[in-house]
A and B are shown apart, each in its own frame.
Chain A
Amino acid sequence: MLSFVKLLQNESMKIYRRIGTWVMIGILLVVTLLFGILLKIDSPNDFEGKDWRTVLEEENKSYEKELAKVEEEGNARLYQDFLKESYAINQYRLDHNISPEDSAWEFVHNAASLISLITLFTIIVGAISVAGEFSWGTVKLLLIRPVSRSKILLSKYIATFQFALTMLVILFLFSFLIGALLFGLGDVTKPYLAYENGQVVEKNMFLHTLSLFGFQCIDLLMMATFAFMISAVFRSSSLAIGLAIFLMFTGVQLVSILAAMDITWVKYLLFANTDLTPYFDGTPWIEGMTLSFSITMLVIYFVLFNVTSWLIFNKRDVSV
């Protein structure tokens, strides 16, 4: 056990002693800051000194009109849903006196979209962690120690996700800080309003934010594991990084195109299952897909990726 902690220390040392890692952390901070400034400049929630209640009432009147018009035409179901939801939440705010003004929490929610940047960085770190040893030639010194290859691989895998976790915590804290500075702290204890089955429900803001981060992390976990596998199998970090990033950006598009063409086997693709949010609010890609189906598929892919990297890392000759 102690020896494994030492392996983790080694892997962390190799991650954080590289300048590249600090560049990534710097990029994350800068992008979060720029994102905040951009939202501040282009804020839709600019009440121009007016009372937010008057603004919401005006908004709701226009929503009613729009809704009536769209319902008459009888299509655009998604748009109708959106209008209904917005209307209901506005009404709930008016009834319960919950201000819609942007605060630190709203910015943290927005910043959750930056997790894809962390996914990208984790892919890079994971790919280099294995393939880097081969391109540096250091694998020859690493594998002639009284430590099994499995342990070495596991320590690399865990260190990669330790890095991801660190980045997530940085994003969470830093976006809260930026949010508080740019939009004011607001009422930190105010609830999050969700729209479920035609009802507005209050939720704990902190837990909601965590779950928002959590859902994004499924994609992170799967893509980084995929990159890790490619890097262990082909021992090339550029191939692993390239392939993982390519799939990350095109995978979901591909699934949406195939789903639109009513091809049902698309549901077995990884990217049809990485986003679990539709099961909680929204509609899944394919009729009949369920949460448990997606989780099963994710587990299958996860095990497949990891077993492949483990088998190949353990078996193959080192010829550097």
Chain B
Amino acid sequence: MLKFEGARSEKNCITISSLVGTKKSHSELKVGNGVKILRKDPVLRVQGLTKQIGAKKIVDKVSFEVYPGEIFGFLGPNGAGKTTTIRMIVGLSAISEGDVWIKGVSLKKNFEQAIAHVGGIVENPELYKFLTGYQNLLHFWRMCKGVSKERIDEVVRIVGLEKRIHEKVKTYSLGMRQRLGLAQALLHSPSILILDEPTNGLDPAGIREFRDLLKKLAAETGLAVFVSSHILSEMELMCDRIGIIQQGKLIEVKEVRDFVDAEEEHAVLFLIDPLPEADSYLKKMFPDYQLTVTEDGILAKIKREQIPDLNAMLVTHGIRVYGIQKATKTLEDRFLEITGGGQIA
């Protein structure tokens, strides 16, 4: 079996076809050299999930799958329906249509069995403030079956809260509460973690630590992670795949790399001098190209193989080329492009 880590490494170029909405239990992966690898069964399968309140569909036929060891990002602007989707997945909200399967168990039909594999935090990690961190964990430990008490100390160590665990939660900082929230989610060694904006309120160091911890857990224990956020750069660094939700509809699910490199045409910045001359010349020569004059050069939207041609033309016409940069799109650009700016649904 392929460790999903590999998908993120630079050399192994993996393209995944039709990951969204596959009904097969195994989907095929094509590795660069053509070898087919079977993918594991999804831990979480969401099919046609819909939440209707009145006449309005807050979540509309959302379908996706999350696989073991994978970090799946759920991205969307405010009010897109991320929290509502998560509430349905963890059973806090009734499902209007569709269903959720966790390790093949239907949440609708067999809630208790399905939810036993899920660890989660929905929005803020609100814990019992009048109890100590340890008592909070003891409380949730008593609610799960077949977990040894030593596991409490283990998760405390994992989230690095040993020093303060016997203090009341009301004395905790937000970051410490986030850690305790994560500890309770990991307590029963779930197969999937469902986190709603988990880095809310964490400082940059805290976010980094949190991200590293999630990546480590996913890579080492095969834990699947479903994480929602609107912090785009954060998602880009953390996730293997990202689904974008807007106005209740899942509009795109892709590999993080695919998101950024999806287009055939690249934006390439030519640092040249003199600018006006070059601009008028290029516009005459290549009327079909999309060219934009920026402060330091010309931004051209062209295919990869056109880059040297264009460069050659410029050079032969005595225009000095100081540099050629690939202006790679960040996920943020893509996101804003797809969701049409910061409009709240």
Contacts and interface: CB of A to CB of B under 8 A. Distances in A.
Interface of A: 3, 6-7, 9-10, 13-14, 17-19, 136-138, 140-148, 315, 317-320
Given A17-B130, A18-B130, A146 B120 contact: no
Contacts of B122: 140, 144
Nearest to A137: B126
Size category, B interface: 20 to 34
Nearest to A316: B94
B112 A141 contact: no
Given A318-B92, A319-B87, 6 more contacts: A3-B145, A17-B135, A136-B126, A142-B143, A146-B113, A317-B87
B140 interface: yes
A19 B144 CA distance: 27
10 contacts: A7-B142, A10-B139, A18-B130, A136-B129, A138-B126, A141-B121, A141-B127, A144-B115, A145-B140, A318-B92
B104 to A, nearest CB: 16
B202 interface: no
Contact of A147 (B112, B121, B125, B127): B112
Contacts of B87: 317-319
B267 interface: no
6 A-B pairs with least C-beta separation: A137-B126, A6-B142, A146-B116, A145-B143, A318-B92, A146-B112
Given A17-B131, A146-B116, A10 B123 contact: no
B144 A318 contact: no
A148 B92 contact: no
A14 B145 contact: no
Contacts, number: 78
Interface of B: 87, 90-94, 111-113, 115-116, 118, 120-131, 135, 138-140, 142-145, 184
Chain B contact surface mostly: loop
A145 B123 CA distance: 17
A140 B177 CA distance: 15
Nearest to B125: A141
B124 A136 contact: no
A10 B128 CA distance: 11
Contact of B92 (A7, A136, A144): A144
A158 B257 CA distance: 54
Given A17-B135, A317-B92, A318-B92, A146 B143 contact: yes
Nearest to A147: B143
Contacts of B143: 6-7, 10, 142, 145-147
Given A10-B143, A14-B128, A17-B131, A144 B94 contact: no
Given A6-B142, A9-B142, A138 B128 contact: yes
B131 A13 contact: yes
